[in-house]
Amino acid sequence: MTGRVAWCVAACVAVSILAGSCTERGKPRSQSATSSDSAASEGGVSLRLPSGWTRASSTLSPHLSDPHEVAAVATVPLPAVDTGPACDAQVPLSAVQALGKRDALIWLLEWDTSGRSPIYTSNRSSPPRPDHFDVDAMTPFDCASSAPSDPGLMFRTTSFRDRGREFLVHVVLGSEASDRRAEVAAILDSFQVT
Interval 44-71 mean pLDDT: 88
Answer yes or no: is 140 within a domain: yes
Q: Secondary structure of the chain: what % helix, strand, coil (to 5)?
A: 20, 25, 50
Q: How many CB atoms lie within 10 A of CB 43?
A: 22
Rounded Cα distance, 55 and 42, in Å: 10
Could you tell me if residue 6 is inside a domain?
no
- Percent above pLDDT 70 for the chain: 69
Say which range, 34-38, 66-70, 101-105, has the weakest mean pLDDT.
34-38
Cα–Cα dist 130/51, whole Å: 24
pLDDT at site 16: 28
Looking at per-residue confidence, does 22 or 114 come out higher? 114
**Region for 8 from its dihedrals, namely left if φ exceeds 0, alpha if ψ lies in -120 to 50, beta otherwise:** alpha
Residue at 3 is within a domain: no
What is the DSSP track for 142-185?
A: --GGG-TT-TT-EEEEEEEEETTEEEEEEEEE-TT-GGGHHHHH
pLDDT band at 88 (very low <50, low <70, confident <90, very high): low
DSSP type of residue 71 = E
Q: Answer left, alpha or beta for residue 33, where phi above 0 means left and psi between -120 and 50 means alpha.
A: beta
Number of structural domains found in the chain:
1
- The answer to whether position 106 is within a domain reads yes
Contact 38, 49 (CB under 8 A): yes
Q: What's the whole-number mean pLDDT along residues 46-73?
A: 89
d(CA 7, CA 30): 24
Q: Is the Cα dihedral 94, 166, 140, 154 positive or negative?
A: positive
Please give the backbone phi and psi of residue 189, each rounded to the nearest 5 degrees, phi first. Answer: -65, -30
pLDDT tens-digit profile of 134-165? 999 999 987 766 666 677 889 999 999 999 88
pLDDT of 112 above 60: yes
Question: Distance between CA 115 and CA 61 in Å, rounded?
Answer: 22
In which domain, by residue range, is 112 found? 24-193
* pLDDT, average across residues 161-183: 93
In a domain, 11, yes or no: no
Contact between residue 70 and residue 110 where contact means Cβ atoms under 8 Å apart = yes
Q: Is residue 15 part of a domain?
A: no
Model pTM score:
0.76
Q: Quick check: 25 pLDDT over 70?
A: no
- Does residue 17 lie within any of the structural domains? no
- For residue 8, being part of any structural domain is answered with no
